[in-house]
Chain A
Amino acid sequence: MSLSEETKKFLCVSCPVGCLLKVTVQGKEVLSVADNGCPLGVKYAQNEVVNPVRTFTSTVRAVGASLPVCPVRSRTPLPLSKVGDVTRELAMTEAAAPISIGQVIIKDVCGTGTDIIASRSLGKR
């Protein structure tokens, strides 16, 4: 028995243009993508069907630094379904000054395969 085709709409978040993609899928397979302004739209649609991913950003407590918190990001996009786990992990994380931009704060966060890194430098208070 073959799965039936269906048309889904996704708003691509790859760039500020925000194309409204028309995506034909069969199960978890993307058959076609229309109304995308660039190739990023095709990749976005494929991810949305199989495993939506987002670049994750937040802060961690900074100890002894010129600010009480340090902004962090995931080095690469991570699964949307893991965002809750990652926020809880970050709530328990501290980074000690000095912190340099790009420094790894958590390696392979929650088994996502990507690292949480500092997105700015912070000197000692």
Chain B
Amino acid sequence: MSDISGVREIDVAVIGGGPAGIAAAAAARKEGAERVVVFERDWEAGGILQQCIHPGFGLHMFGEELTGPEYMDRYLKQAKDAGVEFALNTMVFQMDPPVEADGRRAASFWVMNPQTGIEHVRAKAVVLAMGCRERPAGALGLAGSRPAGVYTAGTAQRFVNMEGYMPGKKVVIMGTGDIGLIMARRMVLEGAEVVAVFEIMPWVSGLRRNIAQCLDDFGIPYYLEHSVCELHGKDRLEGISVAEIGKDRKPIDGTLRFIGCDTLLLAVGLIPENELSRMAGIELDPSTNGPVVNELLQTSAECVFAAGNVVVVYDLVDFVSEAGERAGSSAALYALGKLDTGRREFAIETTPNIRVVSPQKLCGERDTTVFLRVAEPVEGRCKLWAEPGIFSQTLRYARPGEMNEVKISAQKLRELPGDVKSVKIGLEAF
């Protein structure tokens, strides 16, 4: 694209005004970047936490249990006090591969806003903080017609908690992701009947405490190795057919049964939203579906940083904020020409029972936490390690629904012999 009406020049651009973006923007200002702008497509900043009205946020960051809006309120105050600028109702719709500016790489992208129209922005550094999206109904291959009453759990959450609409009265939930469990309780508190929660896998994908406080507290049953196979009803959902799932992940013959309901909520996974990253030509990791990053949260393009659920889907917002702060501070240092990316690079390798790892690279510049998810539950004591001789910890269990952390000291990395080019992370049962 060519310039239409000149270019807006800024120091650090943050794409997305959720927990990662707000923390990144505040950190970028604190690190000394002059013009820091958050581009947010919604009418207000805060992202998904504005609809997460349940408690459970902030224990790590603030030492108390806050609701989503309360947690965001604190961060938004920090960002405003730090002098962050906000471009609300503003959607970034096109991102170019990095351009050369003053002998260095810079980010170039295009935004639109109902008042100001289309604008071209150039930023010395950018933080990608677009978050993630829910896996939609189309990904499930459901038989039957397409009646009203089928929603992703997050859409229903926005309806109930922000728009004041009830999606239905008799609800079935597919998937044991945290949002599904939280919405089971929420629908009951708003007067609906929640018939059951079904999970295709042999284990729960959300946090155990959400089974306890969202299902058990309200007598809602859940069934593992079950999947909704068919929708019934023409204009409005009238029921679903559910079947038991065998070891081959296929429905078992003769187990299909009908359950009457007018609403089906889907909590079947989250996918990082990386359309803009793709446009910019950034390297993505097929296992996380997010950008490949090092511990500075720098992507394969040196002026592009990324943080939060756009990189890897986290369990806890506290870790998203922490990642945002790191990405924002790295982006500011890059914009100021002060970012030291180290003279060494280590690739992280993992044993096959680890499904997801982030960051994927280390440069030995900062102490860091490597987050990972196991492919299948290990019930019982196991050892999590990073070789050569970097980290070792005994765990009581490891489950796909709960991320594990490997603490890595930059000092230890730098002291490794010069021919060491990778760090191996592994998990084994005792």
Give me the interface of A with B, judged by CB distance under 8 Å.
10-13, 15-18, 20, 54-55, 57-59, 61, 67-69, 71, 73, 80, 83, 87, 91, 101, 119-121
Contact = CB atoms under 8 A, between A and B. Distances in A.
Contacts of A61: 164
Given A11-B212, A12-B209, A16-B315, A73 B55 contact: yes
A83 B189 contact: yes
4 closest Cβ contacts across the A-B interface? A68-B164, A120-B69, A71-B53, A18-B209
A13 B54 contact: no
A15 B212 contact: no
A59 B53 contact: yes
A76 B402 CA distance: 27
Nearest to A120: B69
A42 B97 CA distance: 55
Nearest to A86: B189
23 contacts: A10-B212, A11-B208, A11-B212, A12-B209, A13-B213, A15-B59, A15-B209, A16-B56, A18-B209, A54-B217, A55-B65, A59-B53, A67-B163, A68-B163, A69-B162, A69-B163, A69-B164, A71-B161, A73-B53, A80-B217, A87-B189, A119-B69, A120-B70
Contact of B164 (A54, A67, A80): A67
Contacts of B53: 57-59, 71, 73, 119
Nearest to B182: A57
B160 to A, nearest CB: 7
A69 B67 contact: no
Q: Interface size bucket, B side? A: 20 to 34
B157 to A, nearest CB: 11
B96 interface: no
B189 A58 contact: yes
Contacts of A55: 55, 65
Contacts of A121: 73
Interface of B: 50, 53-56, 59, 65, 67, 69-70, 73, 160-164, 189-191, 207-209, 211-213, 216-217, 315-316, 402
Contacts of A12: 209
Given A13-B209, A18-B209, A120-B73, 7 more contacts: A18-B208, A57-B54, A58-B190, A69-B161, A69-B162, A71-B53, A87-B190
Contact of B59 (A16, A58, A69): A16
A18 B401 CA distance: 12
A87 B217 CA distance: 15
A91 B67 CA distance: 20
Most central of B56, B59, B69, B212 by chain A CB within 10 Å = B69
Given A71-B67, A121-B73, A59 B217 contact: no
A31 B132 CA distance: 46
B213 A54 contact: yes
B40 to A, nearest CB: 16
Given A55-B65, A101-B69, A18 B212 contact: yes
Given A16-B209, A18-B208, A73 B189 contact: no
A57 B67 contact: yes
Contact of A11 (B59, B65, B209): B209
B92 to A, nearest CB: 24
Contacts of A59: 53, 160-161, 164
Contacts of A15: 59, 65, 209
A33 B212 CA distance: 18
Nearest to A102: B70
Contacts of B402: 16
A67 B162 contact: yes
Nearest to B165: A68
A10 B65 CA distance: 20
A87 B186 CA distance: 11
Given A13-B209, A57-B67, A73-B67, A101 B164 contact: no
A16 B73 contact: no
A51 B207 CA distance: 24
A16 B160 CA distance: 24
Contacts of A71: 53, 67, 69, 161
A16 B207 contact: yes
B77 to A, nearest CB: 10
A103 B281 CA distance: 47
Nearest to B213: A13
Nearest to B217: A80
A10 B55 CA distance: 19
Nearest to A40: B59
Contacts of B209: 11-13, 15-18
Contacts of B316: 16
A20 B73 CA distance: 33
B411 to A, nearest CB: 29
A58 B207 CA distance: 21
A69 B53 CA distance: 11
A18 B73 contact: no
A121 to B, nearest CB: 7
